[in-house]
């Protein structure tokens, strides 16, 4: 089952918005860390500029070195923290790959191991799969909403095509 081409871009945009909504706190934290890094880098630049324009005695040089080292260390720590909190910058690539993979689920399923198949099963059927032992039928309580909408759209399109052929 492939996602209809006219739905791909709107669905991708919805996935981006969902990511932003679900990760709002992380994104805000990331922005705040960036601001802190900018402030510290400006301070570092200012003290270096000030040190270059003044002749310093030993005490001033020691204070300068201490301040500079502290700022450099603070910036490094913030950048490490930023790397850990980094917003998913490759979100569009991830979404594109997800769409590409969704159109190849059958062949992927054949080539995957049991653990990968379980992960895929949890994505496609987030409410689980049950086995009716009497007649060996598999039952699902729900399908992934993106796949459900895609299938509904596909069915509506097929219905429109059939009615157009009858006319």
CA distance 144 to 11: 13
Q: How confident is the model at residue 7 (pLDDT cuts 50, 70, 90)?
A: confident
Pairing of strands 129-132, 137-140: antiparallel
| Amino acid 2: pLDDT | 59
pLDDT at 126 over 90: no
| Amino acid 86: pLDDT | 61
Section 126-153 average pLDDT: 72
| Amino acid 88: pLDDT | 58
Section 33-40 average pLDDT: 95
With contact defined as beta carbons under 8 Å apart, do 34 and 10 qualify? no
With contact defined as beta carbons under 8 Å apart, do 75 and 41 qualify? yes
Enumerate the domain spans of the chain. Answer: 24-85, 91-166
| Secondary-structure percent of the chain, ordered helix, strand, coil, rounded to 5 | 75, 5, 20
With contact defined as beta carbons under 8 Å apart, do 74 and 40 qualify? yes
Only one residue has tokens 């918005």, namely: 17
């Amino acid at each position: 089952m492939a996602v209809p081409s006219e739905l791909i871009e709107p669905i991708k945009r919805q996935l981006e918005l969902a990511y932003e909504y679900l990760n709002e706190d992380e994104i805000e934290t990331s922005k705040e860390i960036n601001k802190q890094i900018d402030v510290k880098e400006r301070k570092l630049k200012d003290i270096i500029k000030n040190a270059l324009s003044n002749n310093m005695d030993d005490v001033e040089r020691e204070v300068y070195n201490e301040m500079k080292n502290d700022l450099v260390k603070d910036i490094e720590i913030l950048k490490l923290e930023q790397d850990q909190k980094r917003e998913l910058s490759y979100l569009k690539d991830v979404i594109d790959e997800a769409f590409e993979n969704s159109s190849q689920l059958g062949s992927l399923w054949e080539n995957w191991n049991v653990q990968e198949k379980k992960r895929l099963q949890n994505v496609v059927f987030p409410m689980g799969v049950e086995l009716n032992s009497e007649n060996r039928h598999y039952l699902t309580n729900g399908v992934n909403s993106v796949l459900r909408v895609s299938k509904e759209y596909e069915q509506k399109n097929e219905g429109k095509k059939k009615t157009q052929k009858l006319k």
